[in-house]
Amino acid sequence: MNATVLVLLDHAETGALRGNVLELATAARDLAGDGGAVHGVWVGDEPLDPALPVLGRHGVSVVHAVTTGDADPRLTPVLAEALTAVVGDTGAAVVLALSTFENKEAAARLALATGAGVVTDAAAVERDADGRVVATKTVLAGTWTTRCAVRTDLAVVLVKAGAVVSRHVDAEAPLAPEVQACEVAVSERATRVRVVERTPQAPSDRPDLGSADVVVVGGRGTEGDFGPLEALADEIGGAVGATRVATDEGWIGHEAQIGQTGVTVSPRLYVGAGVSGAVHHRGGMQASGTIVAVNSDPEAPIFEIADYGVVGDLFAVLPQLTEELRRLRNG
Ligand SMILES: Cc1cc2nc3c(=O)[nH]c(=O)nc-3n(C[C@H](O)[C@H](O)[C@H](O)COP(=O)(O)OP(=O)(O)OC[C@H]3O[C@@H](n4cnc5c(N)ncnc54)[C@H](O)[C@@H]3O)c2cc1C
């Protein structure tokens, strides 16, 4: 059995690996087992060298450095063809990638090209006693947990950020990943859309919402004033998210929406303020580690799933919380 597991190495334009990619390397090592190998797939011509030592410490033995000529690998049809080429070259059994919008689309295209079975939004992935790849995910707005066994020779699993705790390989035995260059001739079909202009977002010091360890979320109760949430998020190094009510009102961008029709998050700490905890919102956050809720209504449904709840006005509670954290931090 070919037990090569490919990990898509999502990275920024600087070449920095995106948060949580190393968690995939850990999951890949467990899937590959003793006889298998973990290979990274680096698509694009950003500088790869700085990432190699850290990949070696996480058990990646080979990195396929894929270039796509004039075709922009940020377009999902191009990314899918790059992945398809590496799957073909390696005969890999499993492809792991972060569960982002772009990767889900690329995974669907990869599955069409290869006949692979795909599971998205996995909260865990393992092999069962028969060696099948089995992924765990919550469905129906978080009300059910399912285990899905992939029945095809190639399994493509998109794993939620924070689902796996990343582990180094033995510090005494880091690998020196071999880099294999791969130039993919992308089809005309994959390049029917071209990127004609790109404007970078204003840089933010806050982490990505989808991969942040801490997320502070505001709802209708903020009445559009996210100031106290941003102050708290900045104090604890968190990202800022929102309910659909808040994004529909235009109080914050749609990319901040968490829930069934938004981003799925599973941070170690979720703080919801002025959020009722509607089922559509819960579907995107109830896998969070510790849930803290601040709501003026003691009957708010979010208290049913909160580990810690404060019944109170967020405009009174959050500034005190931020101030106390600042005091503790400054000793
Ligand atoms: C098909 C479909 C898909 C949807 N997808 C999503 C989704 O992806 N994500 C999502 O979030 N929603 C989604 N929704 C909407 C969802 O059903 C809820 O309407 C929404 O999540 C509620 O947002 P909220 O908690 O901000 O507002 P509300 O439910 O109105 O709750 C506001 C809360 O703030 C509290 N509050 C008010 N003032 C204060 C204060 N000063 N201090 C503290 N607490 C205060 C109130 O007690 C209340 O509990 C979807 C709906 C549908 C039909």
Does 259 count as an annotated binding residue? Answer: yes
pLDDT of residue 285: 94
CATH of domain 214-330: 3.40.50.1220
Q: Which atom of ligand 1 is nearest to the CA of 276?
A: 49
pLDDT of residue 195: 85
Which pair of tokens denotes residue 63? 């990195």
User: How high is the mean pLDDT in each 10-residue block of the chain (331 residues)?
Assistant: 88 87 93 93 95 94 96 95 98 94 94 97 92 89 85 95 73 83 96 86 81 95 96 96 92 90 91 96 93 97 97 97 93 75
pLDDT of residue 229: 97
For the chain, the domains span 4-183, 214-330
Burial track 244-274 (b if 16+ CB lie within 10 A, e otherwise):
bbbbeeebbeeebbbbbebbbbbbebbbbbb
Indicate whether residue 246 lines ligand 1 (CB < 6 A): yes
Does 168 count as an annotated binding residue? Answer: no
Indicate whether residue 314 lines ligand 1 (CB < 6 A): yes
pLDDT of residue 1: 56
Indicate whether residue 293 lines ligand 1 (CB < 6 A): no
pLDDT of residue 101: 79
Which residues, at least 6 apart from 258, have a Cβ–Cβ distance to it below 8 Å?
A: 209, 215, 217, 241, 242, 243, 264, 265, 281, 284, 285
**What is the second-level CATH architecture of the domain 4-183?**
3-Layer(aba) Sandwich (3.40)
Ligand 1 mean position to 205 CA, how many Å? 27
ipTM metric: 0.99
Domains 4-183 and 214-330 fall in the same CATH topology = yes
Residue with tokens 């095809």: 152
> pTM here?
0.70
Q: Give dist(CA 328, CA 331) in Å, integer.
A: 5
pLDDT of residue 201: 64
Indicate whether residue 221 lines ligand 1 (CB < 6 A): yes
Q: Which atom of ligand 1 is nearest to the CA of 277?
A: 25
Residue of 244, 301, 257 whose CA lies nearest to 278:
301
| Phi/psi of residue 296, nearest 5 degrees | -75, -15
Does 122 count as an annotated binding residue? Answer: no
Q: Which atom of ligand 1 is nearest to the CA of 314?
A: 42
Task: Please report, as a single letter, which amino acid is at residue 125.
Answer: V
